[in-house]
A and B are shown apart, each in its own frame.
Chain A
């Protein structure tokens, strides 16, 4: 599980949902975004940990055009562990370690090598909020 320390910068309730934005301790400049089922009592400024499973983290290279995902952040490949079906990719994101598990076929298609610059992407509903 990827766990990212962050500070809440926006909390919005509506339709039985909560939308939050948070600035990571890694200070990437772009917010992390999560949607939660239920109107939960969170306050701006609170310290939280955002969590996402490695298998929910997608990777991209040279991504262009618009995309709905707002958790889209540049990082560097620092580790590769390839199996016959799955590959675990370790990323350095402003000093924060992020892991992604993608298919080995996708890793080969992207031509992933250690030192490559990539983007990691997570849908907001796959990002959970844990209180710090």
Chain B
């Protein structure tokens, strides 16, 4: 359905770097673009949407060629029927929720607008302005507005990154249900593994200059751990004596763990550390 093969120069702190990407999405497929900041994930979305032109390459949706640099073809964004959900919502602040959606419709259709409000559970909020909504509600409006464009392709750029963790989990599940209902071919940019595993059928892992891996999230992001231990990346916060051992406190993301260790000679406060977790001994409880 969506086919692209392109090369585009990405500005990086080390200087311009060419990114080469070849991807093919099936109808209704959801693909996540996963990778570190600055690798070109958002740029790739903008190229697909027609908001930027690739240095070289071809982008086609079905039989329609959106871009072919060799033939000097570049369909403008408005002709591509792409719905774009931005990280920061990008809603019209002076329009009510209903009007934000109506403005995006290619032709006025009140029934369809009511359907979308119901689908995204925004009907009770339809007469509110964006500033009267929570972050999660605003992002639901952004998604509904993208769907109001009746797109053939949906692009979502870090749709959950502005939300706190609890809200993020709840909205992730809602977005999953909405995407399941609309069955749109979708490309989602995220650096969050939970987003990738919940929302995407396949994931393309971007590294500087290339797609480093492509496949199901499980195949690509859960490589076997030869020793039966999984390593989490952390930062040493404190090393304190604890009898004949040392009590080492480590930050992992926004959480901290403390463990007893006999070997602290190579640990330094503030330095990175790998926290190894035995696969069969981890205790899991719903948070």
Interface residues of A (CB under 8 A from B): 1, 18, 34-42, 51, 54-55, 81-88, 99, 101, 125-126, 128-131
Contacts and interface: CB of A to CB of B under 8 A. Distances in A.
B262 A54 contact: yes
Main secondary structure of the interface of B (DSSP, over half): loop
Interface of B: 224-229, 242-245, 260, 262-263, 276, 278-281
A94 to B, nearest CB: 22
Nearest to B226: A40
Contacts of A131: 226-227
Given A1-B262, A36-B279, A37-B228, 4 more contacts: A85-B243, A101-B260, A128-B229, A131-B227
26 contacts: A1-B263, A18-B228, A34-B228, A35-B280, A38-B228, A39-B224, A40-B224, A40-B225, A41-B224, A54-B245, A54-B262, A81-B244, A82-B244, A83-B243, A86-B244, A87-B244, A101-B245, A101-B260, A101-B262, A125-B278, A125-B280, A128-B227, A128-B276, A128-B278, A131-B226, A131-B227
A106 to B, nearest CB: 13
A34 B279 CA distance: 12
Nearest to B243: A83
A61 B215 CA distance: 53
Contacts of B279: 36-38
Given A54-B262, A82-B244, A125 B226 contact: no
A71 to B, nearest CB: 14
